[in-house]
Amino acid sequence: MSEDKKKELQSLSRRHFLRNTGVAGVAGAGLAGGFGSAALLQSQRAKAASEGNGVEIAPGELDEYYGFWSGGHSGEVRILGVPSMRELMRIPVFNIDSATGWGISNESKRILGDSARFLAGDAHHPHISMTDGRYDGKYLFINDKANTRVARIRLDVMKTDKITTIPNVQAIHGLRLQKVPHTKYVFANAELPIPQVNDGRDMETPENYYTMFNAIDAETMEVAWQVIVDGNLDNTDADYTGRFVASTCYNSEKGVTLAETMRNERDWAVVFDVEAIEKAVEAGDYKTIGDSKVPVVDGRDGSKLTRYIPVPKNPHGLNTSPDGKYFIANGKLSPTCSVIAIDKLPDVFADKIEPRDAVIAEPELGLGPLHTTFDGRGNAYTTLFIDSQVAKWNIEDAIRSYNGEEVNYLRQKLDVHYQPGHNHASLTESRDADGKWLVVLSKFSKDRFLPVGPLRPENDQLIDISGEEMKLIHDGPTYAEPHDCILVRADQINPSKLWKRDDPFFAETVAMAKKDGVTLESDNKVIRDGNKVRVYMTSVAPQFGLEKFTVKQGDEVTVVVTNLDQVEDLTHGFCMVNHGAQMEIGPQQTASVTFTADKPGVYWYYCNWFCHAMHMEMSGRMLVEPA
């Protein structure tokens, strides 16, 4: 047997094994099926590997795109440069972060609010605010499925600045933004139906449970309204008219077990008429639930506010094409995607046509379609979880095929490694979709990297889609879980280099200093207020403004540090040894941390962000007098 043949056979049996593990991963038995033309795929893979696309980002060169990655159940957001796939920064959101003091500093705790007591989160869907269907670089929004929250990140300072817990529902999953005229609303799907009111009554009557679709005001981050739906809600996207938003529902059965949720051949995509909902709320046509003041409208089947479009089967991703023409629902347990014509939706709402008549194509793509993304040239790219592939297909050809013409809409299938969830093409959620890069977030890396114990990294793969053929360029091992990402042109983001002294991020701390008669930019002072002690100090590399301060055992101590350095990239840290207190203080930032001085003695504090040749010496002492 030739070497080549041997390799091919080995590779085939490996893929066979992987395919079967993928099937087990999705829903147990009953899903095994089509093997596809593996030999053909192999040759495609070999070809992709042998041809480079000539792109190289040399050391010191900057990337063309920012990528914002959700960190899944690690709760954070990560910033990558694309195409180099270098990790540039992490933004803690729903997690606790030792380096920056997120969840530890007073400023971050204020932003975390009531939910500061949670140490965990599950960040899924990062999306950038838009004006007229284009990224405006102002905010990034992201959901927390674990604790039913929505967070906002300011893209000037790259910090989380608001977190809202959504009332009356459980598990915010799908999240997308209004695209036009601008991002007034953040749309958020609550996935899991619950009893209403959820206070211990009626727990075993799932047929009475419901969940809601939520609109959050993007500026105030308050919930504007909620819409009761049938079934449940998975993913969502908005259109380019500002009127419609669609969400997939995989549980039309209202099942509470896996088997029950797979019973129906079709579930649906529910379409929301945002303008009609706004009118209903304005007219006072709503109720409220429990203590919450949020207007709740009824969007269950038969309501004027929604329409339910039947699509097969346990659909998952819902993606709007960048030309504004289609919502695409990804079939998951059906090998198809359903193409919904947005220009037919006014007729659906006017009852001139049946909801199902808005489906104008249902191409068969392969096993386990999860998410679709677009190149702005009429092609769609759908991840096939079970097949471990991305299918490239042409939307207009799929429509022609649905209408009976003999035309092949499939352009290419590319192997990815392995079991992809989301994929995302550059600028795909905006009018500017430019069809250059495709990131595929593969849930398993299996044999692609050195083994690192039972827990393996996942695999972010970068694919060049600028030509006719998709070409795999890069494997990027990532820590759990790179759930989803968004790629935006570097010039669409405008990050600050220094903090502004009047930044709202630490305005409350500045106000506290003012009350204490302290000028943060110059004073180093200890203020006693009963058993509360506030210690104000400056930092200029390599020195804190105070070399020591004295408190009494049992005091609640708040240390406020103002970094006076005006130099870009000169961040200090503050760490109080043996007190669990540490934080970042960026150039021109004020940050504070509060702890109890519960043991008498000498405790050193030191700077923990490397700032100077004498960084090790940047320290001081807290003297705690015995009570």
Q: Taking the complex as a whole, how short is the minimal distance between the CB of residue 311 and Ca ion, in angstroms?
A: 11
* Residue 551: count of CB within 10 angstroms of its CB: 21
Give 269 or 607: the residue with its C-beta nearer to ligand RUQ: 269
For ligand RUQ, the binding residues in 537-566 under the rule CB under 6 A are: none
- How far does the chain reach from its first CA to its final CA, in angstroms? 84
Q: Which does 422 bind (CB under 5 to 8 A by kind): ligand CUA, Ca ion, ligand RUQ, none?
A: ligand RUQ
Report the residue number, 168 or 235, with the smaller CB distance to ligand RUQ.
235
Q: With binding defined as CB under 5 A, does residue 248 bind Ca ion? A: no
Among 421, 457, 482, 587, contact with ligand RUQ (rule: CB under 6 A): 421
Segment (H or E) for 594: strand 590-596
The correct pick among 80, 370, 398, 581 for binding ligand RUQ (CB under 6 A) is: 370
Residues 6+ apart with CB under 8 A from 510: 502, 520, 590
For ligand RUQ, the closer of residues 64 and 484 by Cβ is: 484
Are 193 and 254 spatial neighbours (Cβ–Cβ below 8 Å)?
A: yes
* 609 touches ligand CUA (CB under 6 A): yes
| Of the candidates 94, 248, 67, 278, the residue with the CA atom closest to the CA atom of residue 184 | 278
- Radius of gyration from C-alpha coordinates of the chain: 27
Return the number of the residue (401 or 608) whose C-beta is nearest ligand CUA: 608
Neighbours of 220 (CB within 10 A): 10
Stretch of 223-231, 366-374, 510-518, 602-610 contacting ligand CUA, by CB under 6 A: 602-610
Closest contact distance (angstroms) between CB of 609 and ligand CUA is 5
Q: Which amino acid is at 52?
A: G
In the sheet where 326-330 sits, what is the strand order?
A: 318-320, 326-330, 337-341, 359-361
- Alpha-carbon distance values, 582 to 112, 535, 594 (Å): 17, 15, 10
In angstroms, what is the minimal distance from the CB of 116 to ligand RUQ? 24
- The Cβ of residue 59 has, within 10 Å, a number of other Cβ atoms equal to 6
Nearer to ligand CUA, 40 or 614 (CB): 614
Question: Comparing C-alpha atoms, which of 336, 412, 324 is closest to residue 370?
Answer: 336
b (16+ CB within 10 A) / e for 186-212:
bbbbbbbbbbbeeeeeeeeebeebbbb
Helix (H, G, I), strand (E, B) or coil at 261: helix
Binding positions for ligand CUA, 556-585, rule CB under 6 A: 572
The nearer residue to Ca ion, 155 or 171, going by C-beta atoms, is 171
- Residue 248 CB, nearest distance to ligand RUQ (Å)? 10
424 binds ligand RUQ (CB under 6 A): no
Q: Minimum CB separation from ligand RUQ for residue 73, in Å?
A: 11
Amino acid at the residue 228: I
Binders of ligand RUQ among residues 279 to 318 (CB under 6 A) are 316-317
Query: Whose Cβ is closer to ligand RUQ: residue 317's or residue 457's?
Result: 317
The residue length of the chain stands at 627
Distance CA 107, CA 344 (A): 48
Which position has the token pair 């206070």? 199
**What is Dmax (Cα atoms) for the chain?**
88
422 binds ligand RUQ (CB under 6 A): yes
Q: Is 125 annotated as a binding residue?
A: yes
Residue 295 CB, shortest distance to ligand CUA, in Å, is 50
Q: Does 223 bind ligand CUA (CB under 6 A)?
A: no
Identify the helix (H) or strand (E) that includes residue 280: helix 274-282
* Number of other CB atoms surrounding residue 11 within 10 Å: 17
Q: Distance between CA 102 and CA 585 in Å, rounded? A: 12
CB 428, CB 322: distance < 8 Å: yes
Binding-site member from 610, 617, 625, 627 for ligand CUA (CB under 6 A): 610
Instruction: Give the number of residues in contact with ligand RUQ, rule: CB under 6 A.
Output: 12
Structure tokens at 133: 């269907």
Residue 591 makes contact with ligand CUA by CB under 6 A = no
Please tell me whether residue 230 binds Ca ion under the rule CB under 5 A: no
611 a known binding residue? yes
User: Cβ of residue 265: shortest distance to Ca ion, in angstroms?
Assistant: 9
Binding residue for ligand CUA, selected from 188, 493, 541, 557, defined by CB under 6 A: 541
**Residue span binding ligand CUA (CB under 6 A) among the ranges 5-13, 281-289, 291-299, 608-616:** 608-616
Beta carbons within 8 Å of 374's beta carbon, 6+ residues apart: 319, 321, 322, 380, 381, 425, 428, 433, 435
How far is the C-alpha of 613 from the C-alpha of 543, rounded, in Å? 12
Residue 392 contact among Ca ion, ligand RUQ, ligand CUA, none, beta carbon within 5 to 8 Å by kind? none
Buried b (16+ CB within 10 A) or exposed e, 376-403: beebbbbbbbbbbbbbbbbbebbbebbe
Binding to ligand CUA by residue 41, rule CB under 6 A? no
Select from 241, 242, 247, 296 the least CA-distant residue to 267. 247
Residue window 317-336: x/- pattern of binding to ligand RUQ, with contact defined by CB under 6 A: x-------------------
36: amino acid identity, one letter = G
**Which residue among 441, 607, 622, 624 contacts ligand CUA (CB under 6 A)?**
607
The angle subtended at Cα 171 by Cα 101 and Cα 417, nearest 5°, is 80
Q: Is 615 annotated as a binding residue?
A: yes
Task: Kindly tell me the number of DSSP H helices and DSSP E strands found in the chain.
Answer: 8, 39
Q: Which residue among 218, 618, 622, 624 contacts ligand CUA (CB under 6 A)? A: 618
* Interface stretch with Ca ion, choices 7-15, 152-160, 259-267, 342-350 (CB under 5 A): 259-267
Which position's Cβ is nearest ligand RUQ? Answer: 421
Judge whether 182 is annotated as a binding position.
no
Q: For residues 440 and 372, is the Cβ–Cβ distance under 8 A?
A: no
Q: How far is the CB of 249 from Ca ion (least distance, A)?
A: 8
Interaction partner, residue 381 (Ca ion, ligand RUQ, ligand CUA, none; CB < 5-8 Å by kind): none
Per-residue mark of binding to Ca ion, 287-326 (x: CB under 5 A): ---------------------------x------------
Which one of ligand CUA, ligand RUQ, Ca ion, none is in contact with 609 (Cβ closer than 5 to 8 A by kind)? Answer: ligand CUA
Tell me: is residue 572 an annotated ligand-binding position: yes
124 sits near ligand RUQ (criterion: CB under 6 A): yes
Q: Which residues bind ligand RUQ (CB under 6 A)?
A: 124-125, 173, 235, 316-317, 370-371, 421-422, 483-484
Q: Which residues bind Ca ion (CB under 5 A)?
A: 250, 261, 264, 267, 314
Q: Which residues bind ligand CUA (CB under 6 A)?
A: 541-542, 572, 607, 609-611, 615, 618
Known binding residues for Cu cation are 124-125, 173, 316, 371, 422, 483, 572, 607, 609, 611, 615, 618
